Amino acid sequence: MSDTKELTLPQSNAAPGADLTRRDFLNQVTIGALGIAGLGSVAVTYQFFSPNVLFEPATQFRAGTPDLYPIHSVTYLQDQQVYIVRMPEGFYAVSAVCTHLGCITQWKEEAQMIACPCHGSKFKPDGIKLEGPAPRPLPHFGISLTADGELLVDKLQSVKNTQALKT
Binding residues for ligand FES (CB under 6 A): 98, 100-101, 103, 116, 118-121, 132-134
- Minimum CB separation from ligand FES for residue 105, in Å? 7
Rounded CA gap, 155 and 79, in Å?
13
- Minimum CB separation from ligand FES for residue 141, in Å? 19
Q: Which is nearer to ligand FES, 97 or 152 (CB)?
A: 97
DSSP string, 88-157: TTEEEEEE-B-TTT-PBPEEETTTTEEE-TTT--EE-TTS-EEESS-SSPPPEEEEEE-TTS-EEEEEEE
- Minimum CB separation from ligand FES for residue 107, in Å? 14
Q: Which is nearer to ligand FES, 80 or 121 (CB)?
A: 121
Q: Which is nearer to ligand FES, 63 or 125 (CB)?
A: 125
